Structure 1
Amino acid sequence: MTMLGATLAVPAAARAQDSIFDTFARNRVLRNTDREGNTVAALDAIDTVEPILSVDTAHNLQLAIMQYEQIMAAGGWEQMPRDIFGLVAGVDRRSVSRLRDRLIMSGDVPAEQQSKKDIFDEYLDAGLRQFQARHGLLVSGKVDAETFFALNVPADYRLQQLRLNAMRVEAISAELSDRYVVVNIPAATIEAIDAGLVARRHTAVVGRIDRQTPILHSKVHEINFNPYWHVPKSIIRRDLIKYMNEDPNYLANYRIRIFDGGGNELSPTDIDWSTDDAVNYAFRQDPGGENSMGHVKINFYNKHNVYLHDTPTKSLFGENRRFHSSGCVRVEDVDALVAWLLRDNGDWDVTGVEAMFNSGERVDVAIKNPVPIHTTYISAWANRQGTVSFREDVYEYDKAGKVTFDDA
């Protein structure tokens, strides 16, 4: 029994000693890991002046295709096991080496880190953050659910995505002008392009899956300051009737008025909300803080009655998946975009635009030199630094193999 006790005691002592070593290793990693610096570096790798849509993008995509063809020639990358979920800097686990190999294969971790195996070190933290930035995910340095999903998209799927998007870019790039706006739906971003470079980049909220933002090419021709919102019949039918049945004060709370065909204002009690009677009337929201278009509407010619606009719900810009609108596009920091669009109209700088917002005055301004706008579906692109970005095929246009679009 004494011998058995001694035998059992040895592994316990070893485990305690290993635990101490693990703690030292973990503390060293945490001391050496500049999380904030790694996040900045990851975002800098994608926040370059190269547009998502340009002649250069077409060339960059061809280089990316070659890179992913080499990845496929090497066998691609393996599927990640469930036990990588939750991995973060400082963890010492066997699955760390598999995550490291995966990120080496996609170029997010330097190949010379191959010998570093089971400890989630500062190099792996930087690589994971770069991977997250390239895929439009929250840059956390932790393998969360969305990161786990993105890591397990096969290499051959990514290669096909690059090839498909290269054809999309090539189909449009030859027609681009010197100055234009791009709304990229899968990324939910907007770029203002000047002389082939990104002058401004904005986070956006685009159409949800059942109310998609259309693919089109047009020209931005007018700015409406402090606009009325004329509620589309589709939203009256789908949303407004439901909201009024849930809360009879909904229209009053959001300063929405009802008018008949003769322009006479009606009371909400004049409408039978148990039917679709409401679609026979016009609903108009007054300018102000609750207005669904915020302080400004940016008009461009199209048959879908869609436009860019401000929004009172700024919190949506902080989400990863920004597919919430009914087809129109909400713009973060919209004052700066409006000032850029009005560049040739005289004294419209950001200060002047904000002053107009704050005045509450209803003013329409025709853009002196209308600016081309392209709403696009580019789910994979690359910049000249070799950073390749991917986004989810939210409208399933990649799945359908669509290269051109009827409205384009």
Structure 2
Amino acid sequence: MAPIAPGRLLRPGMRDARVAQLATRLVAGGYLDARPGAEGDRYDPALLDAVQRFQSRHGLQTDGLVGPATLHALNTSAAERLDQLRVNLERWRWLAGDIEAETLLVDIAGGLLSYYRDHQLLWQGRTVVGRPDRQTPQLKPLVSRLPLNPTWSVPPTILREDKLPEILRRLASRRTQNYPITRRLPIVMAYWTAQVAADGALILRNDFYARDAALLAALDQAGH
């Protein structure tokens, strides 16, 4: 299937010649029913729903905007996705023995922090990871303290909009707290670009650290 051509950001409601390519790709992927009566160049509500479902399955922001990240995911071939699964199965082989019954798991590619007890997920939240030029490493340290509601520097724009008093009132009731942990917990920092979600759906993410290619080359060289 021909890739969707690059160009301006595709937004719901707009007309663009590439909308027909977008619809074809989503139909082929099972995200959109064939629509013979639809206007070929118009980004309509049915297409928006399909794009958002595609974004959700690929770890992207579900805003319906087809920009560089979504376009890259749309143009990734089935063969490349298969290689992505091979790479992540190998990563899982490395890490499976490190994940203990009680573990903090950082999903670097997904920007998620999960807490497991008795191998069951008890809590999950967003976390900050490094940019491609300052990558978060994969490692397994131990933690003994967990800061909640850390301090935050107010951006100048918010100050100019006179929202500082409201923010200060909220912060007064949500002071930074350091919760001691009775024993040190292992924290596994993993980089998965393919993962099975709690509902069984396969999530395929863009490789924003560009780590998959080197591992795939090593697997090919080893004949795996």
When normalised by structure 1's length, the TM-score is: 0.42
Alignment of 1:143-162 (within 5 A): 143-162=66-85
Q: Does 1:199 align with 2:122?
A: yes
Unaligned 5+ residue runs, structure 2?
Answer: 156-172, 220-224
Encode CA deviations 1:20-71: one digit per residue, 9 max, x unaligned. Answer: xxxxxxxxxxxxxxxxxxxxxxxxxxxxxxxxxxxxxxxxxxxxxxxxxxxx
Instruction: Return the match for 1:172 from 92, 95, 106.
Output: 95
**Cα distance in 2 for residues equivalent to 1:184 and 1:98:** 33
Instruction: Return the match for 2:197 from 363, 378, 383.
Output: 383
**For residue 129 of structure 1, what is the amino acid of its counterpart?**
Q
Alignment of 1:331-342 (within 5 A): none
Encode CA deviations 1:254-289: one digit per residue, 9 max, x unaligned. Answer: xxxxxxxxxxxxxxxxxxxxxxxxxxxxxxxxxxxx
**Cα distance in 1 for residues equivalent to 2:16 and 2:132:** 39
Q: Tell me what 1:113 maps to.
A: 34
Q: Does 1:401 align with 2:211?
A: no
Alignment of 1:319-358 (within 5 A): 354=174, 357=176
Counterpart of 1:217 in 2: which secondary structure?
A: coil
Q: Is the 8 A contact 1:101 1:114 kept in 2?
A: no
Q: Is the 8 A contact 2:99 2:188 kept in 1?
A: no
What's the CA shift for 1:175?
A: 4.2
**Cα distance in 2 for residues equivalent to 1:392 and 1:103:** 17
Do the aligned partners of residues 385 and 101 (structure 1) sit closer, same or farther apart at CA in structure 2, a change above 3 Å counting? Answer: farther
Q: Tell me what 2:134 maps to.
A: 211
**Cα distance in 2 for residues equivalent to 1:116 and 1:134:** 27
**Cα distance in 1 for residues equivalent to 2:204 and 2:151:** 27
Do the aligned partners of residues 129 and 197 (structure 1) sit closer, same or farther apart at CA in structure 2, a change above 3 Å counting? Answer: farther
Q: Tell me what 2:56 maps to.
A: 133
Counterpart of 2:141 in 1: which secondary structure?
A: strand
What's the CA shift for 1:364?
A: 7.8
**Cα distance in 2 for residues equivalent to 1:195 and 1:101:** 45
Encode CA deviations 1:100-136: one digit per residue, 9 max, x unaligned. Answer: 1211223322xx4353542533321111012222333
Q: Is the 8 A contact 1:182 1:192 kept in 2?
A: yes
Q: Is the 8 A contact 2:104 2:186 kept in 1?
A: yes
Counterpart of 1:100 in 2: which secondary structure?
A: helix
Alignment of 1:68-107 (within 5 A): 77-82=1-6, 85-91=8-14, 95-107=18-30
Q: Is the 8 A contact 1:221 1:371 kept in 2?
A: yes
Counterpart of 2:55 in 1: which secondary structure?
A: helix
**For residue 312 of structure 1, what is the amino acid of its counterpart?**
W
Q: Is the 8 A contact 1:86 1:143 kept in 2?
A: yes
**Cα distance in 1 for residues equivalent to 2:77 and 2:17:** 22
Counterpart of 2:208 in 1: which secondary structure?
A: coil
What's the CA shift for 1:401?
A: 0.8
**Cα distance in 1 for residues equivalent to 2:119 and 2:179:** 29
Q: Tell me what 1:312 maps to.
A: 152
Counterpart of 2:128 in 1: which secondary structure?
A: strand
Counterpart of 1:216 in 2: which secondary structure?
A: coil
Q: Tell me what 2:158 maps to.
A: none
Counterpart of 1:206 in 2: which secondary structure?
A: coil
**Cα distance in 2 for residues equivalent to 1:394 and 1:86:** 20
Do the aligned partners of residues 213 and 91 (structure 1) sit closer, same or farther apart at CA in structure 2, a change above 3 Å counting? Answer: closer
Structure with bigger helix share is: 1
Counterpart of 1:150 in 2: which secondary structure?
A: helix
What's the CA shift for 1:99?
A: 1.0
Alignment of 1:39-58 (within 5 A): none
**RMSD of equivalent CA atoms:** 3.3
Do the aligned partners of residues 385 and 102 (structure 1) sit closer, same or farther apart at CA in structure 2, a change above 3 Å counting? Answer: farther
Counterpart of 1:207 in 2: which secondary structure?
A: coil
Unaligned 5+ residue runs, structure 1?
Answer: 1-76, 224-295, 298-308, 316-352
**For residue 394 of structure 1, what is the amino acid of its counterpart?**
F
Counterpart of 1:370 in 2: which secondary structure?
A: strand
Q: Tell me what 1:189 maps to.
A: 112
Q: Does 1:374 align with 2:214?
A: no
Alignment of 1:10-29 (within 5 A): none
**Cα distance in 2 for residues equivalent to 1:87 and 1:210:** 28
Number of residue equivalences: 199
Computing the radius of gyration from Cα coordinates, the structure with the larger value is 1
Q: Percent identity?
A: 27
Do the aligned partners of residues 197 and 101 (structure 1) sit closer, same or farther apart at CA in structure 2, a change above 3 Å counting? Answer: farther
Q: Is the 8 A contact 1:134 1:390 kept in 2?
A: yes
**Cα distance in 2 for residues equivalent to 1:150 and 1:105:** 14
Q: Is the 8 A contact 2:195 2:202 kept in 1?
A: yes
